[in-house]
């Protein structure tokens, strides 16, 4: 047993438990809160899916469950997709722009990040250090 705890991989994992604990706890609370905010019929559908009883799911409960899953996927895709709006109001991806416009957009974004004011999170972190 002492050889197991002397392993470099186990020591690395034990050090990471403290790093990952808050992330895992936050994710677990997110899942619990999301589940608690669902309507009761949708909660029953989620439990049925998790238990593996697919034959018991009705069409009336699978449609809202599918809509919930699709909305989360669409939200994630919209969040991670680069969003550039041209002067005529069209939303385009960065590779669709000409090289000169790509450079201008990248420089503008860099300048905007440098010139932005203090964020709320930054203020809160400063306030906690006083």
Vertex 108: Cα angle to 112 and 84 (nearest 5): 105
Instruction: Give the tens place of pLDDT for each residue, 9-32.
Output: 777 777 777 677 777 888 889 989
As a whole number of angstroms, the distance between CA 50 and CA 72 comes to: 18
More confident residue, 47 or 124: 47
Q: Which of these, 96, 93, 95, lies nearest to 82 by C-alpha position?
A: 93
Has residue 36 got a pLDDT over 90?
yes
What 3-state class would DSSP assign to 91? strand
pLDDT at residue number 9: 75
Residue 125, both tokens: 């972190």
DSSP state of 56: G
Res. 33 pLDDT band, cuts 50 70 90: very high
Instruction: Give the tens place of pLDDT for each residue, 73-126.
Output: 888 887 777 667 666 666 666 666 777 777 777 777 777 666 667 777 777 777
As a whole number of angstroms, the distance between CA 46 and CA 91 comes to: 36
What 3-state class would DSSP assign to 85? strand
pLDDT at residue number 101: 76
pLDDT at residue number 5: 59
How many residues make up the chain in this entry?
A: 130
Q: Where are the domains of the chain?
A: 1-37, 40-81, 82-130
What's this model's pTM, rounded to 2 decimal places?
Answer: 0.40
């Amino acid at each position: 047993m002492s050889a197991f705890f002397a392993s470099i991989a186990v020591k690395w994992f034990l050090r990471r438990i403290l790093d990952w604990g808050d992330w895992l706890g936050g994710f677990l609370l997110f899942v619990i809160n999301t589940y608690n905010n669902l309507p009761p019929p949708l909660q029953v559908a989620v439990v049925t899916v998790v238990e593996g009883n697919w034959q018991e799911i009705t069409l009336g409960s699978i449609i809202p469950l599918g809509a919930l899953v699709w909305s989360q996927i669409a939200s994630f895709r919209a969040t991670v997709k680069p969003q550039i709006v041209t002067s005529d109001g069209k939303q385009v991806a960065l590779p669709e722009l000409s090289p000169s416009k790509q450079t201008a957009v990248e420089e503008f974004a860099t300048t905007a990040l440098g010139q932005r004011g203090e964020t709320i999170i930054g203020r809160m972190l400063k306030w906690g250090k006083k």
